[in-house]
Chain A
Amino acid sequence: EDQVTQSPEALRLQEGESSSLNCSYTVSGLRGLFWYRQDPGKGPEFLFTLYSAGEEKEKERLKATLTKKESFLHITAPKPEDSATYLCAVQAMEETSGSRLTFGEGTQLTVNP
């Protein structure tokens, strides 16, 4: 069974204070690892897909990296508008359940001005 564990559950940062969110996963052959951002009362919004260990992707102040066991979402010099819940999800190579994504519980990030 595919499993995704995110840590920490919640993170408070001061504006400009860089940090990282962790996503550990267990999957029988990784097809893709996905990062989403979710604002309160809204649906998750797609950020990145990573496919193989060593891959990195960037978007503004966010950089996602991938190893064989975990992924990190690095946030550089965050701003209050980066406050949100960040979700990690994996897709197994095996095409079952419509190639569904298995989600972690998320990290709730708060950036104080």
Chain B
Amino acid sequence: NAGVTQTPKFRILKIGQSMTLQCTQDMNHNYMYWYRQDPGMGLKLIYYSVGAGITDKGEVPNGYNVSRSTTEDFPLRLELAAPSQTSVYFCASRRGTSYGYTFGSGTRLTVV
């Protein structure tokens, strides 16, 4: 059981570039989430999905987009990268709303 797999682990982007952070889970979880973690700021919710074909914005969605075409995959798209998007990004999934999250190992993104 791989759990939640995120790729890449590290990435450096130049301002204005775009990229997709990949997230895949093999636990058949319906609920999936993208968070960003900044030093001293805690984890902030970017986008979430309650099932295939259903996505919605979290607290800090600006500059990001998501899609959920399958139960397994929940990619996060960054368009026109900005230095403010330098952060560590975590994908998480859960079996249902009474369960805790299972997190991926994160993607460390630097925008220069």
Contact = CB atoms under 8 A, between A and B. Distances in A.
B57 to A, nearest CB: 8
A49 interface: yes
How many A residues are at the interface, by size bracket?
20 to 34
> Which of B92, B97, B100 is most buried by chain A, counting CB atoms within 10 A of its CB?
B100
A87 B41 CA distance: 12
B48 A98 contact: yes
B68 to A, nearest CB: 11
B43 to A, nearest CB: 4
Contact of A105 (B41, B45, B56, B98): B41
Interface in A1-45: 4, 31-32, 34, 36, 41-45
Nearest to A44: B103
Contact of B45 (A32, A41, A95, A100): A100
B48 A42 contact: no
Contact of A100 (B58, B90, B104): B58
Contact of B106 (A31, A43, A95): A43
Nearest to A1: B59
B100 A98 contact: no
B43 A42 contact: no
Interface in B53-112: 56, 58, 90, 92, 97-106
Contacts of B58: 97, 100
Interface of A: 4, 31-32, 34, 36, 41-46, 49, 87, 89, 91, 95, 97-101, 103-106
23 contacts: A32-B98, A34-B100, A34-B101, A36-B100, A41-B106, A43-B92, A43-B103, A43-B104, A43-B105, A44-B43, A44-B103, A45-B103, A46-B102, A89-B43, A97-B48, A97-B56, A98-B56, A99-B31, A100-B33, A100-B45, A100-B58, A103-B35, A105-B41
Interface of B: 4, 31, 33, 35, 40-43, 45, 48-50, 56, 58, 90, 92, 97-106
